[in-house]
Amino acid sequence: MIKKALERILRRRHFWRDAGFNELTELYISTMLRVFAVSVLMVFIPFYLYQEGFPLYMIFAFFGIIFSVRVITDVLASYFVARFGPKHSMIVACFAQIIASSLLLTLPEYHWPLWSIGMMIGISSSFYFIAYHVEFSKIKHIVHVGKELSNMQIFQKIAAIAGPLIGGVAGTLLGPRYIFIIASVILIASLWPLFRTAEPVKIHFRLDFHRLPFHRLKRDFTSYFGLSIENSLSLNIWSLYIALFALSGSVYAKLGAISSVSVIASIITAHVIGKFIDKKRSRRLLRISSVTTAGLHMLRPFVGSLWPAFLTNVTYEITSTGYRLPYLKGFYGRPDELKNLRTEYVTALEVFGNLSRASIWWILTILATSIGDKTVLIIGFAIAAAAALMIRSERFPALDSKS
């Protein structure tokens, strides 16, 4: 039913895509379901761990472990994708995430070490994102990639509305552990669309990272460094900050409501931007949005109640969509210039991005052992602001006005 509805909507807009339409539709559906499941989880994990008695430095170390593991498993995932294809890699990701959810569900009884949970989340993320980036970069349409990214963002955001709302209600009425049960069920459901068609890329091929022209890609790495840090800190530090210092009472429900309602603004923004970035004005939008996002991070420490937190979230969803969609257009366009190096390029950037994320989280872990909780979170916002400005360093040919 979901697939038929999407086909009716998308086929009108993408009649030029009949040849590869099934693959794109199935990626839309699978991604939407996975985002739904993960958004049920990730918004609440920092506060859940805090409620379970873990100090802030251990929560930061938890994220440090996730991204440290990804530095290694990104490479393993790339070889897996090359051997078996991205869809099979997504299966591995799904089951690793279910294991992580199970460990979180039973954490109060069995007191699993946080590193084991972080390791499974890291494995899941690597095997999913390497596969997702490779598949989308392969099946996208060169001319209309802006609209396709817009549609993907809209479907992800629809899922991101429902996920925190359902997770927040379940966490408030039934207890936070039910959040992980819901997420596991949805993760399993996310697998069925993937195998309606064959793998979209060549499999059983050898990777050769030595062929990557790193000298031409310096600005790709610099900008991805900023993007990776900004995304990671904004998602995880902000939700913990408002849970501790801006909300009271039914925190899970309020946190879920703020996250969900704010996303509506980004859906509207994504629809508009998808058309805008196909009209050769991508870079200007990216630069304006990244600066605005940096300024917003600097204002976050002044948020101390529900409504300012809500307004800040709405504004961030708009500004982050404004830089993210143009950036992804350039990111997915770059492999088309690198003959037969698609997987190598995606993997190299992801490894570098996760290395940067891990470094920042370990720095915050060290700081959290010697300074107050609120102070270290504010430092995190300052780092996120600086990282947002680094996104402006990109020079993707796909964003050139003449391209």
For 337-374, write each residue's pLDDT tens digit: 887 899 999 999 999 999 999 999 999 999 999 999 99
Question: CB–CB of 387/359 below 8 Å?
Answer: no
pLDDT at position 137 is: 81
Per-residue tokens: 255: 């946190």
What pLDDT does 10 receive? 46
Q: What tokens does 32 get?
A: 């939407």
- Low pLDDT (below 70) residues in the chain: 1-24, 28, 40, 42-43, 139-146, 160-165, 168, 195-201, 278-280, 401-403
Distance CA 298, CA 329 (A): 27
Report the largest interatomic distance among the alpha carbons of the chain, rounded to a whole angstrom.
Answer: 60
- pLDDT per position as a tens digit, 263-278: 777 777 777 777 777 6
The per-residue pLDDT for 279 is 64
User: 368, 378 in Cβ contact below 8 A?
Assistant: no
How confident is the model at residue 104, as a pLDDT?
86
Domains of the chain, each with CATH number or no CATH? 20-195+213-399 (1.20.1250.20)
pLDDT at 226 (0 to 100): 97
- pLDDT number for residue 74: 98
Contact 35, 156 (CB under 8 A): yes
How many whole angstroms separate alpha carbon 8 and alpha carbon 11? 6
Q: How far, in Å, CA of 6 to CA of 14, rounded?
A: 11
Among the listed residues 83, 394, 370, the one whose alpha carbon sits nearest the alpha carbon of residue 227? 394
